[in-house]
Each structure stands twice: as structure tokens, then as C-alpha cells.
């Protein structure tokens, strides 16, 4: 048993979709969340910059005494996961594996769409993960870079968001996909808008649920679950305005965030 917290990192507030699932699957675990809100989005950054930002963020989480890290950011998972795993001595998980597994299990016609940031889509990480599970599946990928800033501004259900979704997702109209993998933690927050754009016949996949289950399995295998002797503690940190994080994050998490501390991430 290990009562140290789990660290979760994202480029902004979107990673709270993963935190929400971890709270559900592992209700006894303490959580430390860091959102790099001053430098969001990561999707248009260079590979070297994403790796630098990811390692700084993990170093901060390590300073909080965590026992495991989830890279909730899909771009960080796609580009930086292996580098981070080599540099730190705690289990580090990404979200690509969970998303791929969930999508492969969901598709009936073996035609899967993938949306994400430019960094995630250009990496081809989801396509490779899906092919490893079932090489007969055909994938179609499309970057949707405006979705992250729309979510960060709280505009995920606006007509502006719908117009952007129609513009991006028209790409899939002739592909015959029956499953659409939302390959960015921000995108599940736009699920209603995305569903309006693609129709109810396409199943939307949020990697967060499967990622939380993989985390639970990892902690069980390593025998480092929290013993549940006390009420779980959740702490939130951001690299920009903590008040804005609290407001937006509380709505996304569907519970009140009383404090979000601003940190100087460049120190790490």
C-alpha cells in the first residue's frame, strides 16, 4: 500500500476529464493536478519544445511526492512518453493506449476516425497503436487545432464551436467511420458539439475511462494502491491565472475547486 498521490499533467484544463475518471475508478487516491495553462496549446509546438515542457511538468509533480504520473495531454503522450519514462523512476502512463483500445473495441465496421491537435495527428501515435491491436482496421485522422482554445475560453457549446466542428469534421463524411476517437483531453468537453456535427450514428470515444482503468491495473500490479484510510485530497496547480482555472475547471470537473495555486513552471 502506498498513500502518496497520483500526479496528472495536461497542457491546460482538459486533463480534468481524465482526473474525473480517476476519481471514479480510484476513489481513495489523492491526486495532484498540474495544468500548464500559461503555455497551452501544445499541439502546434515543436517536438523538442513539447518534450521540454513535459519534463518540466513531471519534475514539478515529482516535487510533490507522487507515486505515478498520467500524461493526460495527448500531444505529450504521443511525443514525450518514452523520454519521460526513461528519466523518472515512477510509473508514467499516457492516454494513447487507452484510447486505441477503447476505439478498437467499439468499432463494428473497422473504420475509425481520429481527431486531435496537429502534434498528436502528425505523430501518427494513435494510428500505430490501433494497428498493433488490429491491423485490419482503417484509420482516418484530422487535426482540429481550434478546439483547444475554444474549450479553454468556455465556448465549447457555442455556435462558433459548431461552425469550427462542421468545417473540420466534414473531412469524415465520405469515410464511412462508425467510431470517432477524441484524441485530445479537451475534446470530450466539446462532445455535444462534435456529436451535432458528425451525427448520432458515429460513436465518440473518450480515452479517459480506459486510461483510468489501466492506471488502476498498474497500481494493483505494483501493490501501491492507497489504503483508503482517509478522505482523498485533491490539489490543483496551474502555470497561469489560478482564479480562471478554478472557474473553468470546476465546471469541467462538475465539482468545486476551492484553490488552484499558480507556480513558476520554468523553475523546473
Tell me if 185 is assigned to a ligand binding site. Answer: yes
Tell me if 206 is assigned to a ligand binding site. Answer: no
State the sign of the Cα–Cα–Cα–Cα dihedral 148, 43, 254, 204: positive
Q: Is 259 part of the annotated catalytic residue set? A: no
> Which of 144, 184, 255, 259 is the catalytic position?
184
DSSP letter at 267 equals G
Tell me if 264 is assigned to a ligand binding site. Answer: no
DSSP letter at 145 equals T
Q: Is 144 part of the annotated catalytic residue set? A: no
Cα 80 off chain centre by: 14
**Residue 23 to residue 18: CA distance in whole angstroms:** 9
* Distant-in-sequence, close-in-space partners of 29: CB < 8 Å, separation ≥ 6: 5, 6, 22, 219, 225, 226, 232
Tell me if 117 is assigned to a ligand binding site. Answer: no
Looking at the chain, the number of H-run helices and the number of E-run strands are 11, 10
Q: What are the start-end ranges of the H helices in 26-88?
A: 47-63, 74-87
Tell me if 75 is assigned to a ligand binding site. Answer: yes
Determine if the peptide bond prior to 41 is cis (ω within 30°): yes
Query: What is the three-class DSSP state of 225?
Result: coil
* Distant-in-sequence, close-in-space partners of 197: CB < 8 Å, separation ≥ 6: 162, 165, 166, 168, 169
Tell me if 74 is assigned to a ligand binding site. Answer: yes
> Which of 73, 144, 255, 259 is the catalytic position?
73
- List active site positions: 73, 184
Query: Binding site residues for substrate, as ranges?
Result: 10-11, 42-43, 74-75, 185-186
Query: Binding site residues, as ranges?
Result: 10-11, 42-43, 74-75, 185-186
Amino acid at each position: 500500500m502506498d498513500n502518496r498521490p497520483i500526479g496528472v499533467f495536461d497542457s491546460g484544463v482538459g486533463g480534468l476529464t481524465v482526473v474525473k475518471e480517476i476519481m471514479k475508478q480510484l476513489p481513495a487516491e489523492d491526486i495532484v493536478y498540474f495544468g500548464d495553462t500559461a503555455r497551452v496549446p501544445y499541439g502546434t509546438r515543436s517536438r523538442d519544445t513539447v518534450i521540454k515542457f513535459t519534463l518540466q511538468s513531471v519534475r514539478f509533480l515529482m516535487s510533490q511526492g507522487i507515486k505515478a504520473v498520467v500524461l493526460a495531454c495527448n500531444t505529450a503522450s504521443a511525443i514525450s512518453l518514452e523520454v519521460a519514462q526513461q528519466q523518472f523512476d515512477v510509473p508514467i502512463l499516457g492516454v494513447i493506449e487507452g484510447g486505441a483500445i477503447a476505439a478498437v473495441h467499439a468499432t463494428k465496421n473497422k473504420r475509425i476516425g481520429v481527431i486531435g491537435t496537429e502534434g498528436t495527428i502528425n505523430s501518427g501515435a494513435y494510428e500505430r497503436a490501433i494497428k498493433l491491436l488490429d491491423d485490419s482496421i482503417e484509420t482516418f485522422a484530422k487535426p482540429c487545432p481550434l478546439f483547444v482554445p475554444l474549450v479553454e475560453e468556455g465556448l465549447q457549446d457555442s455556435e462558433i464551436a459548431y461552425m469550427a466542428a462542421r468545417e473540420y469534421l466534414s473531412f469524415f463524411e465520405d469515410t464511412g467511420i462508425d467510431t470517432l476517437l477524441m484524441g485530445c483531453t479537451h475534446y470530450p468537453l466539446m462532445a455535444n458539439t462534435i456529436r451535432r456535427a458528425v451525427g448520432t450514428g458515429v460513436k465518440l470515444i473518450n480515452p479517459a475511462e480506459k486510461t483510468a482503468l489501466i492506471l488502476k491495473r498498474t497500481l494493483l500490479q505494483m501493490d501501491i494502491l492507497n489504503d483508503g484510510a482517509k478522505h482523498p485530497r485533491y490539489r490543483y496547480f496551474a502555470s497561469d491565472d489560478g482564479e480562471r482555472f478554478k472557474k473553468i475547471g470546476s465546471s469541467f470537473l462538475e465539482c468545486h475547486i476551492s484553490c488552484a495555486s499558480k507556480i513558476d513552471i520554468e523553475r523546473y
